[in-house]
Amino acid sequence: MEKQDFDLIVIGGGPGGYIAAIRAAQLGAKVCLIEKRRMGGTCLNWGCIPTKALHRSAEVCQLVKNSEEFGIITNGASVNWEQVQARKNKVVDQLVSGIVQLMKANGITVVEGEAAFADANSISVSKADGSAESISAGRIIIATGSKPAVLPIEGADLPGVLDSTALLGIDHIPRRLAIIGGGVIGMEFAAIFNAFGSQVTVIEFLPSILAQLDSDLSKRLVPMMKKKGIEILTGSRVMKIEQQDGLLLTVSTKKGEMQIAADQVLMAAGRQPVVEGLMLEKAGVGYDRKGIGTNSFGQTNVPHIYAIGDVTGGIMLAHTASHQGVAAAEHLMGKTPHYNAAVVPGCVFTFPEIAFAGMTEEEASAKGIAFKTGRFMFGANGKALALGEGEGLLKVIADENDILIGVHIMGPHASDLIHEGVLAIGMKQSAENIIGTIHAHPTLSEVFSEAVMGLNGAALHSAPAKKN
């Protein structure tokens, strides 16, 4: 066998790819990473980070509008959208620059261009200037991520019909924004642009938005969002989009056909793996429309070729991709990876935030697991009230032995609070162990402790349940 240029080639510089490259380099591999656009992938450039930067600006906007509640009198507030976008871009650029420096610090060779397999060990890289470069390695990791899915709707190609990437770069706040899809992406943008003053309508085909949520959260979420002025149409389908005084959507709803006027339309119907152009057939790598199939270590049907993250069609989250990247890098370097892939936290950055891990009540019932639940409202927590964010609740689910199997949060800083729940579920902690751990006062973490106490009717700051 002829000498390879590198020990490992990683295709894609997103949160799965660059993490895999760093971990392999730490373990002594000579690594090349190929990225066709910008380091950080979708998550950093057109997904997680820019949306959270906008979410923070929207949060500040709401806070200023409600400042009198805190005794702070302002003379009104307005949004400078150009500055909002500039701040978002600054955050993104700073993080991209940091990853570039990490590549250099770890001795990783970065090649800019589009990768395609020439054979099972060789990659052809097409450069922006029209040239091509051939690179070979003994191991290859595919981390090409995903792209927005496109629904076959008449008029979907009209100007003003945008995907999430285009909406992030929009040069103004839409007056009327229609969002097709009530999943995580759709609801986050709905919350953000509603806070900035857009008239927002969400059209969801399924019976409920954010279908993965526990019912205790989902049944409270819709009224909360409608109270903020977001119109939500579930069990509805967009039949066509026309250009008429902006855009006009014809929608089939449970109550019949209706028309919705919008200035911009966001297509937020999920994402699909990026495999086009990789020439996987030349390497013998198996895949289907759902993505590239792998084992738990990320190995494809070709043992020295791995795939991680969204391209595998599994849980499409940045933190999942990063953990898969570590597992793949360690496995290909001869180590046994140790991480718990069974407990993956999910976060939705609406107002208030939502976070969840483990089983929902519905999933536990479907699996025939005997369970009990505990709930505690943020409105009974001192820190939440001091923040002016008393909406929402924290719910825990435990099995018949009081071992935690699910945690579901809707409230302030839910995305931070969920991790005590993730640790508890992953380590199969009992309610007794959690209750026996002192939670600082006054903090939001007390809500978790009180909810766990509530599993057995021992919550201290909520009225006892009425006896039959």
- Rounded to 5°, the CA angle 444-446-450 comes to 135
Distance CA 307, CA 16 (A): 10
How far from each other are the two terminal CA atoms of the chain, in whole angstroms? Answer: 77
Strand order in the sheet with 256-262: 237-243, 247-253, 256-262
DSSP class of 113:
S
Give exposure, 383-412, as e/b (b: 16+ Cβ within 10 Å).
bbeebebbbbbbbbbbbeebbbbbbbbbbb
Closest CA to 143 of 295, 18, 316: 18
Catalytic residue among 172, 439, 441, 461: 441
Q: Identify whether 441 is a catalytic site residue.
A: yes
Instruction: Give the H or E element holding residue 122.
Output: strand 122-126
- Rounded to 5°, the CA angle 272-278-283 comes to 120
Helices (H), 66-120: 81-105
Distance CA 38, CA 28 (A): 25
Burial class (CB in 10 A: 0-12, 13-18, 19+), 370: exposed
Distance CA 249, CA 160 (A): 12
The set of residues, in sequence order, having a beta carbon less than 8 Å from that of 16 and lying 6+ positions away, is 41, 143, 145, 308, 309, 310, 318, 321, 322, 324, 325
- Rounded to 5°, the CA angle 88-187-349 comes to 55
* Inter-CA distances, 450 with 73, 340, 389, Å: 35, 26, 18
Cis peptide before 442 (omega within 30 of 0): yes
Q: Is 217 helix (H, G, I), strand (E, B) or coil?
A: helix
Q: Answer yes or no: are the C-beta atoms of 77 and 68 closer than 8 Å.
A: no
Q: Answer yes or no: are the C-beta atoms of 408 and 361 closer than 8 Å.
A: no
Catalytic residues, which ones? 441
